[in-house]
Structure 1
Amino acid sequence: MRLRPARPGDWPGLWEILGPVFRAGDTYMVSPDISEAEARHYWTEAPRDCWVAEDEGKLLGTYYLRTNQPGPGDHVCNCGYVTAAEARGRGFARAMCLHSQERARELGYSAMQFNAVVSSNLAAVHLWEDLGFERVGTVPGAFRHPHHGKIDTFVLFKDLTGDR
């Protein structure tokens, strides 16, 4: 696996990964009806950084990194990660999360926060906590899951400086 910055020509492969995840509507605070153009802006243009994970030339994962809040909160970043269905369970999400933490430090961030980890996304919750993220809050019923109805989201946080 190789991680590299996303390039404009990567979009068709990224959409193949992101489209099904967004359409499923069970893990991201993104409308399942998001247009491809809106998704491209959300994932690759609005963030500060966008990376891809590839294996043998095939895109199998991606993450974005953005400032979580402006002004006095701009030292905390936020990331989103998606792994292609055929690559799940092969360590792509772990590698991308570890890489994003290093990248965040390089960009001057001192912490990372995940604002809305869907409680039913057990694999993600387990992975993020295994990588040292603390569950600092629960937002009751904040996510309308297509099968489970209203379920909780978690706020996860990690200090990137070692000071905490």
Structure 2
Amino acid sequence: MLIREANTADWPAIWPFFHRIVAAGETFTYPVDLGKEEARGWWMLPEPARTVVAVDQAGTVLGTAKMNRNHLGNAAHIASASFMVDSAHEGRGVGRALCRHAVEWARAAGFRGMQFNAVVETNTRAVGLYRSLGFEVLGTLPEGFRHPGHGYVGLHIMYRAL
């Protein structure tokens, strides 16, 4: 697996799984009816932020991540990131590799910490992955997310120092 900078030619490969994940309404706080062009603007971030793709040897996009500063001004030293893995490639370490990449990017860019603002508590695979990579739950917003199957569930704020 190779993780590389995403480019505009990658968007057609990202969009189908991005759309499925967002439309399912189970893990992201994005509108479930988010359109393709608006979604591209939200995901394909310009510098100094970064968007990457994980690809296999054939060049197939397996997953993607976006990395950015979480805050502005005197809190601009805290990074954030978001991750999506195509369900056809789940369980192969793609998410772990993308998260490790994001942490290393943030560290190399001089950020002092990384914060995930809204990790849905029922997304146990993501919560477990982030914990295994040194993130901790700082707090949970009770009933902060309306899950289509579980009703109102909490949103974790997760953090790790860099």
Tell me, yes or no, whether TM beats 0.5.
yes
Contact 2:120 2:156 (8 Å CA) reproduced: yes
1:2-17 correspondence to structure 2 within 5 Å: 2-17=2-17
State yes or no: 1:81 paired with 2:98.
Answer: no
Mapped to 2, the partners of 1:3 and 1:146 lie a distance apart of: 32
TM-score, with length taken from structure 2 = 0.96
Q: How does 1:28-67 map to 2 (within 5 A)?
A: 28-45=28-45, 48-55=49-56, 56-67=58-69
Matches within 5 A, 1:120-159: 120-159=122-161
Whether the aligned pair in 2 keeps the contact of 1:17 and 1:60 (CA below 8 Å) is: no
Report how far residue 38 of structure 1 moved.
1.1
Provide the aligned length of Structure 1 versus Structure 2: 160
Shift of 1:149: 1.2
* Cα shift readout 1:43-83 (whole Å, capped 9, x = no counterpart): 01367100000012100100000111110111001100000
State yes or no: 1:112 paired with 2:114: yes
CA distance in 2, matches of 1:45, 1:4: 14
RMSD across aligned positions (CA): 1.0
SS at 1:34 equivalent: coil
TM-score normalized by structure 1?
A: 0.95
Q: What is the rounded CA distance, in whole Å, between the counterparts of 1:75 and 1:7 in structure 2?
A: 26
- 2: CA distance, partners of 1:10 / 1:70: 29
State the SS of the aligned residue for 1:157: strand
In the alignment, is the contact (CA less than 8 A) between 2:45 and 2:66 conserved in 1? no
Secondary structure, aligned partner of 1:45: coil
Gaps of 5+ in 2: none
- Deviation, 1:102, is 0.7
Q: Secondary structure of the equivalent of 1:154?
A: strand
Q: Structure 1 residues 35 and 46 mapped into 2: Cα distance closer, same or farther (>3 Å)?
A: farther
* In structure 1, C-alpha distance between the alignment counterparts of 2:62 and 2:79, rounded to whole Å: 23
The percent identity for this pair of structures is: 38
- CA deviations 1:25-50 (Å, max 9, x no partner) are 10001010011111101101367100
The alpha carbon displacement at 1:147 in A equals 1.3
Q: Distance in 2 between matches of 1:136 and 1:151?
A: 16
**Are the aligned partners of 1:115 and 1:155 in contact in 2 as well (CA < 8 Å)?**
yes
Render the CA deviation track for 1:102-156: whole Å, top value 9, x for unaligned: 1111222111000110011000001100111011111000001111111101110
